[in-house]
Chain A
Amino acid sequence: MVPKLSQDDYRKSNIGFVCSQLQVNRGLGGKIAVRFLDAELKVTDLSYQDLNLRSNQVANLLRSEGFEIGEKAFIFLPKCIEIYEIFLGILKAGLVAGTLFSSFGPEALLDRLSDSGASVVFTKKKMAGKIMRVIDQLPNLREIILIDSDDNLELRQKGYNQLLSKIPTDFSCSLFGQKPAILHYTSGSTGKPKGVLHVHSAIQSHISSFEEVFQPLDDDIYWCTADPAWVTGTSYGIIAPLARGISQIQYAGVFDPSIWLSIIEREKVDLFYTAPTVLRMMMQFENEIYAGFDLSGLRHIYSIGEPLNPEIYKWGVQVLKHEIYDTWFQTETGAIQIANRPPFKIKPGSMGMPLSSVQMAILDEGCNKLPTENVGKLVLKPGWPSMFVGYLNQTDSYNSKFRCGYYHSGDLAAIDEDGYVWFKGRDDDVINTSGHLVSPFEVESSLLEMDEIADVGVIGAPDPLVWEKVVAFVKLKPAVDMTSALALKIKLYISNHVSPLATPGEIITVGKIPKNQSGKVMRRVLRSIYNGTDPGDMSTMEEE
């Protein structure tokens, strides 16, 4: 009998310790923690004991290299088996683990590494080239540790395997509780990306929400398809399943519905957590593809990222023969707050009901609670363990999220008479594309660096595949004409400098970008132009 863990075990603890050593202490050392399938489906198993020893080595490595508690260590890697030991090792050593999408370009990297004062980055040789382009602007970055190369090292680079070869596997872990643990950057509608900080005791929310929503059994096989750089990938792709002591699958290959379903079938996946964009991509293939797979072993499918359209739910029931449970949370909340989950009946299109510990309300502009069926601001009573503890270096922005005793999510929603929550939109300009938040400001700032562009304004617009696409309105410099070649150049510029996620899906040439008298882009007017509707009050618009 494997001993159960109490909330006290989690509250006082260290995420790195709970996800490895504590599982070994429970007698799970020989159990598979992560079964990693590379792009060719070659299997590498990592047991809880392996994970514990290797993450101990990473913690020792950081200490021996002189990194101290509280310093920021970033992971800039594609999906790979090393991510788990590095993430947990950073936390065991008391450093703050920051995440970066492997698709980020130099500008996106500079924004995040510079703002955080990052001390060390774990990456691959080839990807390090993007950091090297901006390294002169990163004086605090002392080491770039390459997991795939010990040779031909450049400035500040070190080889991971060479370093680990001399490092012991025993490490005495301190319990950090309320100390900072994880740093995710998220986009707001204004300014640069903000560093969202969570503490070690956030693990209480990860595990309690995992139990309430996913309801895992001890022998379950779990697969969360989220990138580990995304909050879902860390909270539910690393922390929750490891803290629960179950086995999980990770796959490094690109999306292919046949391969993904064959993995579910072959590996006997019980719980599958993915994104609506993935499900919409699956819907584009002929239904016959799915007929050959036996998914009867799969107990539940869950979704996260952007609202799950009723069409996807119906398709899941008809084609995959499974209901799809939509869930809701944000980088700032750290863990699921609202969800469809068994045994409650799903209302297609609703994000479900608040979890048992969550106090949620819908407020009007004056902070008054709205009755059912009314659209207002989705707010949460603060105090849950995984609530973010700050935006790094942006105290005012952090404080602005808490008003009249509630955390304001920025989402607009309504609650029906049965307690189900329905997403209705955002009350800011952030663009949700494939479940990732894109800041219009970040895209605008980057585009203004292009020689051909005089001015730019960016909005999000509905898209049938990715929920919202990035739409860029550009004013070109004199004598520059919009051509298909220039449109492609603009897209590639954002893809390579910021991220493929932020790439405009549509580019519209205009003679003038509407701005108010303080010079701020009037996105409301751009949205009206895009939708062909009346822009309303234009009295604050700047004159020529």
Chain B
Amino acid sequence: MINIEDLSEVFRVVFDDEELSVTEENTANDIEGWDSMTHVLLLSAIEEKFGIEFNQKEVRKFQTVGDLLASVNGKLR
């Protein structure tokens, strides 16, 4: 199981922002630079960091950081 801080660490690397801290309620609109291009990088970074893989269908369903967190933890279970 990972927590929101584990995920924040990945966000900080992908968005090159040492002060970035995400919450489960955050969406792409809340984080500067989170667009369709960086979204692909973000998912790759999460996959790499936690040794998991997302499929296309799952990816489209993510609306919030909380959705992402739940999906990662579902795969790590």
- A253 in the interface, Cβ–Cβ < 8 Å? yes
A503-B29 in contact given A254-B34, A255-B36 (Cβ < 8 Å) = no
Do residues A492 and B41 form an inter-chain contact, with CB atoms below 8 A?
yes
Q: How far is the CB of A369 from chain B (nearest CB, A)?
A: 40
CB neighbours (8 Å) of B44 from chain A are: 488, 491
| Shortest CB distance B76–A (Å) | 18
Main secondary structure of the interface of B (DSSP, over half): helix
Q: In the complex, what residues of A have CB within 8 A of residue B35's CB?
A: 103, 254-255, 500
**Judging by beta carbons under 8 Å apart, are B29 and A500 in contact?**
no
* CB within 8 Å of A: which B25-76 residues: 27-30, 32-38, 41, 44-45, 48, 60
Q: Contact check, A488 vs B33: say whether CB atoms are below 8 A apart.
A: no
CB neighbours of A485 from chain B (8 A): 48
CA separation between A496 and B44, bound complex, in Å? Answer: 15
Identify B33's interface contact among A39, A102, A492, A503, CB under 8 A. Answer: A102
* B37 with A503: CB separation less than 8 A: yes
The answer to whether B41 touches A126 (Cβ under 8 A) is no
- Contact (Cβ within 8 A) A40 B29: yes
Whether a CB of chain B sits under 8 angstroms from the CB of A281 is: yes
The yes or no answer to A484 lying at the interface (CB within 8 A) is yes
- Pick the most buried of A126, A127, A254, A491: most chain B CB atoms within 10 A of its CB: A254
Tell me how far the C-beta of A76 lies from the nearest C-beta in chain B, rounded to whole angstroms: 12
Q: Could you say which of B30, B33, B34, B36 contacts A281, with CB atoms under 8 Å apart?
A: B36
Q: A78 to B41, alpha carbons, bound, how many Å?
A: 20
Q: Report if B17 contacts A (CB, 8 A).
A: yes
Task: Please measure, in the bound complex, the distance between the C-alpha atom of A281 and the C-alpha atom of B37, giving whole angstroms.
Answer: 12
- Which A residues touch B27, using CB under 8 A? 39
Contact with A along B16-30 (1 / 0, CB 8 A): 110000000001111
Q: Which of B16, B30, B48 contacts A496 (CB 8 A)?
A: B16
Complex-state Cα separation, A488 to B41, whole angstroms: 8
A149 within 8 A of partner (CB): no
A114 at the A/B interface (Cβ < 8 Å)? no
> Residue A501 at the B interface, CB < 8 A?
yes
Q: In the bound complex, how far is the Cα of B37 from the Cα of A491, in angstroms?
A: 11
> Cβ of A503: which chain B residues have Cβ within 8 Å of it?
37, 41
Binding site for B on A (CB under 8 A): 39-40, 78, 102-103, 105, 126-127, 129, 252-255, 281, 285, 434, 484-485, 488, 491-492, 495-496, 500-501, 503
Known: A103-B37, A488-B41, A501-B37. 13 other contacts (CB 8 A): A102-B33, A103-B33, A103-B35, A254-B28, A254-B34, A484-B48, A488-B44, A491-B41, A492-B14, A492-B41, A495-B16, A500-B37, A500-B41
